Amino acid sequence: MARKSMEMAFEKLERASELHEKEFYEESVVASYSAMFQAARAILFVEGIIEKNHYCVVLYLTENHKDDLGLDLISWLDTYRLERHQWFYGVERLGTDSDESEDAIDRSTKFLERAEEIINKKKN
């Protein structure tokens, strides 16, 4: 399941870039978050944990992977989690711009790279 989750993470990251290029910046950030979330779940899967709750995934990573994943990236995952909630359920636009979208893609790329390193260490 970890491998499939990582495959989906990379698909979401590619989608984020496509959305960014078409100037769908909010949707690009949501796709970047989805990529990060799938990569986070892949880490949990390789450790034998199945969790769908977005908040619980962030808590688990904070407790168990703050050193190897980094609190900075975990914090960005949580920030995008909260923004995703606002995008889906809020009634006002957040006004996401190109720079924010590009930053989300960059952070998501780093998150996926670190997630792969963690998963590869666990497999060896």
Phi, psi of 115 (to 5 degrees): -60, -45
CATH domain 2-123 topology = Four Helix Bundle (Hemerythrin (Met), subunit A) (1.20.120)
Per-residue pLDDT of the chain (124 residues; tens, 9 = 90+): 999 999 999 999 999 999 999 999 999 999 999 999 999 999 999 999 999 999 999 999 999 999 999 999 999 999 999 988 888 888 777 789 999 999 999 999 999 999 999 999 987 6
Domain ranges of the chain: 2-123
Q: Is 65 helix (H, G, I), strand (E, B) or coil?
A: coil
Give which of 89, 115, 94, 99 is closest to 36, Cα–Cα. Answer: 115
Give which of 105, 104, 5 is closest to 51, Cα–Cα. Answer: 5
**pLDDT for 43:** 97
